Amino acid sequence: MKDRYRVELSLNIWSDTDKGAVKVARDICDKQKEKFDNRCEIIKVCSSPFGRVEGEDIVAKVYRQEVFNEQSTQ
């Protein structure tokens, strides 16, 4: 029987928009789940401008925009 390991990865995603970056991250997780059944999840997505160590956490921002857009169309 194989042992189970927890791995946290960091990678750069290039996108024109915050929403696009989150979508790419979701797509990567979905592919991992389908192929390996490994419960991939997004922990954090943040902007990563050159020359800075930390950027703005955008997952909550994108989620708020999606909820607002959904409510305004109802």
Binning pLDDT at 50, 70 and 90, where does residue 2 land?
A: confident
Q: Pseudo-torsion of CA 21, 5, 34, 48, nearest 10°? A: 0
Mean pLDDT score of the chain, rounded to an integer? 81
- Three-class SS of the chain: CCCCCCCCCCCCCCCCCHHHHHHHHHHHHHHHHHHHCCCCCCCCCECCCCCCCCCCECHHHHHHHHHHHHHHCC
Please, which pLDDT band fits residue 73 given cuts at 50, 70 and 90? Answer: low
Position 15 confidence tier, pLDDT thresholds 50, 70, 90? very high
Position 23: which residue type?
K
pLDDT on residue 74: 60
Determine if the pTM surpasses 0.85.
no
